[in-house]
Amino acid sequence: GDYPWLVEIPMGMVDANETPEMAARREATEEAACAIEELQSIGKFYSSPGGTSEFINLFVGRTTAPADGSIFGLQHENEDIRVHVMDAAKAIGLIYAGRIRDSQTLVALQWFAMHHTELRSRWLVSDVGTPII
């Protein structure tokens, strides 16, 4: 009875000989064709201390998004990922509409709700295109 598709941020495992920052850039490219121009740490935390050893490194990145509705992902990983491009108000509104059902995206969007104005101000100063934030 649960809708099978999630709205979530790009995420994945850190490969051997890779830093969390490198993994964030790689996953953004693989899953959404986003080349990260600037990367900033949001935080680091355990997803469920005592229940799992999974440790999350969460980032925000400045990028130019692909066309809304584009499909990406790696075929050998059976990924079928549709990109959703939206403005800040709509993205933050997903929290209140109950559309976010994974903890990493929820934390990222809550952080974004508190910091998107500052990001926009800082990123527009040195902008060569239009940042998608």
What amino acid positions are annotated as catalytic residues? 77
Distances (CA, A) of 125 to 59, 87, 89, 114, 115: 21, 19, 21, 20, 16
Q: Where are the beta strands (DSSP E) in 20-130?
A: 38-46, 55-62, 71-72, 81-82
Amino acid code (one letter) for 105? T
DSSP 8-state secondary structure symbol assigned to residue 47: S
Structure tokens at 20: 């969390």
Q: Tokens 């939206």 correspond to what residue? A: 86
Helices (H), the chain: 20-32, 88-96, 103-125
Amino acid code (one letter) for 97? A
